[in-house]
Amino acid sequence: MQELERGITLPPVIIKTIRIRKRYLVALAILAFLSFYLTRAQIDRAERQTVEVMSRALAGRVIVVDPGHGGDEPGVVGESGVEEKEITLMVGKLLAENLARAGAMVLMTRETDSDLSDPATAGLTAKKREDLARRVAVANDNMADLYISVHVNSFPGANRSGARVYYQPGAIEGGKAGRHIQSALSQVLKNTSHQPAEVDYYITRNTAMAAVVVEAGYISNETEEKLMLDPVYQSKLAWAIYAGAVKYFAVENPPTQKQPGNEGVIQTFKEHEGEILQEP
């Protein structure tokens, strides 16, 4: 992900969400099926059972899943031409499904290949600014309990690899969530020994709840680039992030901004639809 300049303040954005469409429900059912069975085969049984028992801590939590980039903004690009935005969306959808099945209210910032900026907004910087501000607004306006932004890393040269979690410097809850998610990633993927790191990103700085950026791996590493395109590996990534979120709530038990009646529903922020997004 790319950092935007500091200190941007934008007027509050009113986000309304709508119930998911039939088409999306079908896609979700397929994803759920794949995710469930692929993951079962890959994750240690005892660990699965532990997380399953703890997962009741997710009931009623509002969790924002933010697949990074989208639309004209591909993010980092791999040797094969694969773009970060594709991987983040696939992992994000699987993650959302895991969380929703456990009873969380999941808000996705996007479900298609598009960013959140208004099509009428001109200029890349202005569009990026609007895009990020709206991602943050989805979390803040809905008083989310946890914000998980999924991204893909890149580094000059091919040596670096491994999933890594980032959180806002000094953020107590972000740090706790980051450590649980990093630990689950290490345990499930068995190919990363990174520690969570503090980085000052626009989205983690401006979100009012525990917020993490999960970099799923390095697209600059050929092996990891291939792995991140593998549905089974994507499923493991999503499950690990989910398991980390479960442990964060179960162990740390932060205060919840519960919204009764909305549990288990995945809602998606729809950009490009005038009636959905209203700015004062």
The interface region with Zn ion, picked from 63-71, 89-97, 129-137, 184-192 by CB under 5 A, is 63-71
What is the closest distance, in whole angstroms, from the C-beta atom of residue 279 to Zn ion in the complex?
25
Taking the complex as a whole, the smallest distance from the CB of residue 30 to Zn ion amounts, in Å, to 26
Q: Which amino acid is at 201?
A: Y
Number of residue whose CB is nearest Zn ion: 1
Site membership for Zn ion, residue 68 (CB under 5 A): yes
Interface with Zn ion includes 75 (CB under 5 A)? yes
- Cα separation of 260 and 143, whole Å? 13
Q: Is 67 in the site for Zn ion (CB under 5 A)?
A: no
Q: Show the binding pattern over residues 117-156: x = contacts Zn ion (CB under 5 A), - = does not.
A: ----------------------------------x-----
**69 dihedral zone (left: phi>0; alpha: psi -120 to 50; beta):** left
Q: What is the crossing angle of helices 84-101 and 231-247, to 10°?
A: 50
Q: What CA–CA distance (Å, rounded) separates 238 from 242?
A: 6
Residue 184 or 213: the one with the smaller Cβ distance to Zn ion is: 213
Check residue 78 for interaction with Zn ion (CB under 5 A).
no
- Residue 1 makes contact with Zn ion by CB under 5 A: yes
141: Cβ–Cβ under 8 A, 6 or more apart, which residues?
12, 13, 14, 15
Nearest distance from C-beta of residue 75 to Zn ion, angstroms: 4
Q: How far is the CB of 84 from Zn ion (least distance, A)?
A: 5
Told to check if 87 binds Zn ion by CB under 5 A, we report: no
Query: How far is it between the farthest Cα atoms of the chain?
Result: 52
In angstroms, the CA 160 to CA 85 distance is 20
CB of 46 to Zn ion, least distance (A): 34
Report in angstroms how near the CB of residue 14 gets to Zn ion at its nearest: 26
Choose between 202 and 249: whose C-beta lies nearer to Zn ion. 202
Q: Pick from 42, 63, 106, 116: which is nearest to 85 by CA?
A: 116
| Rounded-to-integer distance, Cα 246 and Cα 229, Å | 25
Identify which of residues 1 and 277 has a Cβ nearer to Zn ion in the complex.
1
Q: How far is the CB of 209 from Zn ion (least distance, A)?
A: 20
Distance from C-alpha of 81 to C-alpha of 57, rounded to nearest angstrom: 40
Nearest-angstrom CA–CA distance, 132 and 115: 9
- Comparing CB distances to Zn ion, the nearer of 149 and 268 is 149
What is the total count of residues that contact Zn ion (CB under 5 A)? 4
Q: Which stretch binds Zn ion (CB under 5 A): 66-74, 177-185, 197-205, 235-243?
A: 66-74
User: Are the CB atoms for 202 and 10 separated by under 8 Å?
Assistant: no
How many angstroms separate the CA atoms of 258 and 256, rounded? 5
Q: Of 65-73, 110-118, 174-182, 238-246, which part binds Zn ion (CB under 5 A)? A: 65-73
Binding site for Zn ion (CB under 5 A): 1, 68, 75, 151
